[in-house]
Copies of this chain bind each other. A is one copy, B any other.
Amino acid sequence: MQDSIFTPAVAGMQASAIREIFKMLGVPGMISFAAGIPAPELFPAKEWAEINHKILTERASGALVYGTTEGYVPLREYIKEQCTKKGIYKEDVDELIITSGAQQAIDLSAKVLINPGDGVICEEPSFIGSLNSFRSYGAKLYGAAIEDDGICIEEVERYLKKEKNIKFIYTITTFQNPSGVTMSLEKRKKLLALAQQYGVFILEDNPYGELRFRGESVPAIKSMDTKGTVIYAGTYSKTLAPGLRVGYISARKDIVDRVTVVKQVNDVHTPVLNQMMVHEYVTNYDFDAHIEKCAKIYGERCDLMLAEMDKHFPKECTYTRPEGGIFILCTLPKGTDTKVLMQKAIEKKVAFVPGATFMLDLDQPSNLFRLNFSVTTPESITKGIAILGEVIKEYLQNL
């Protein structure tokens, strides 16, 4: 690698395969279950137009000038208040910084903590964007399996006992990407206790948690933490609009202090206009009603998709039954390769994301694949799942 002009960590990085798949989605008639986004028709577009008109006629220069790295004060105060209610911000020990989406929250946390060779325990499968961020700072990744009630605690404990380089555990606690699984309360408590026992941090990423359409909400690990163990990343990308790039970190003051100096040299600050837009929306419109409406529609789409899968998928294909979020994870028998399956599905104009994309070893075949239900119309869900069922059956028969 030393022949490369690039740093070893960066030289080895692969562009997200998901983005490569996206290039195929432009084909007319393609039914895509490959997305990872909220439904654009649910964006409060009319409200955004009103809000922007107000901001740019009343406070244009404030919206367009440099802002502070920590974030636009009224939005920061609002988020602190909301997080205080959920126990994920504690004024005496925590600080809060607004980031350019949760992706930046993850990336800046990684940058301040990871020395090359440091270890990160993550769920496997997990979100490629975070895994690649850790890799870009030279982290060594250790994957712990996802079970129906979240990360496999025994595997986490085994890594913590054996490996001396672990810096933090990365988890998407609720409606995990790609599995849709939510970590149980019991496991959250155990994970926190383990992290504290071994003196490692937990990076808790929660972009989907508010999109619950079934079951009871489970408190964030951060809310149970009294020792500054948990770094919590939140975002408005999945509830309001991903393109605005507004997220945040709530964590120990000294960690947010270092994240702040690093963000200052990364992008100076998150655009003020975008932060003002979010602040105007959450304070002047009914944000709770908006989330409820989105969750209801996603729940209907999820239920429809599961019902169609029950009808059309062969019994060898099992899948998660999420209580919220935007993803279902499917498992085919061992030895199958969902990259091959994807090629066949694409020929029939149905797209999904093969599991290899979410694994530590991107080159190994995976028997998993991810379906998204948030952006597809009911008609397309019905049609696409029927086609996909046929493709799977045919693939399995010809193995």
Measured CB to CB, the residues of A under 8 A from B are 5-8, 10-11, 13-16, 19, 37, 40-41, 43, 45, 48-49, 52-53, 56-57, 60-61, 63-69, 100-101, 103-104, 107, 111-116, 129-130, 132-133, 136-137, 201, 241-245, 254-255, 258, 260-262, 264-274
Residues of B within 8 A of A274 (CB): 271, 273-274
Q: Is the contact region of chain A dominated by helix, strand, or loop, or is it mixed?
A: helix
User: In whole angstroms, how far apart are the Cα atoms of A49 and B56 in the complex?
Assistant: 5
Residues of B within 8 A of A5 (CB): 113, 201, 254-255
User: In whole angstroms, how far apart are the Cα atoms of A241 and B254 in the complex?
Assistant: 32
Given A16-B264, A64-B243, is A100 in contact with B100 using a C-beta cutoff of 8 Å?
yes
Residues of B within 8 A of A269 (CB): 245
Given A6-B112, A19-B264, A56-B48, is A67 in contact with B101 using a C-beta cutoff of 8 Å?
no
- Min Cβ gap A47→B in Å is 9
User: In whole angstroms, how far apart are the Cα atoms of A46 and B109 in the complex?
Assistant: 38
CB–CB A271/B243 < 8 A:
yes
User: In whole angstroms, how far apart are the Cα atoms of A386 and B274 in the complex?
Assistant: 40
CB–CB A112/B7 < 8 A:
yes
CB–CB B65/A262 < 8 A:
no
CB–CB B265/A103 < 8 A:
yes
CB–CB A258/B11 < 8 A:
yes
Given A6-B258, A48-B56, is A273 in contact with B243 using a C-beta cutoff of 8 Å?
yes
Residues of B within 8 A of A100 (CB): 100, 267, 271
CB–CB B264/A245 < 8 A:
no
Residues of B within 8 A of A7 (CB): 111-115, 137
Residues of B within 8 A of A68 (CB): 19
Given A52-B53, A112-B7, is A268 in contact with B245 using a C-beta cutoff of 8 Å?
yes
User: In whole angstroms, how far apart are the Cα atoms of A265 and B266 in the complex?
Assistant: 13
- Min Cβ gap A392→B in Å is 28
Residues of B within 8 A of A43 (CB): 60-61, 64-65
CB–CB A48/B64 < 8 A:
yes
Given A6-B113, A15-B260, A261-B14, is A241 in contact with B103 using a C-beta cutoff of 8 Å?
no
User: In whole angstroms, how far apart are the Cα atoms of A16 and B266 in the complex?
Assistant: 13
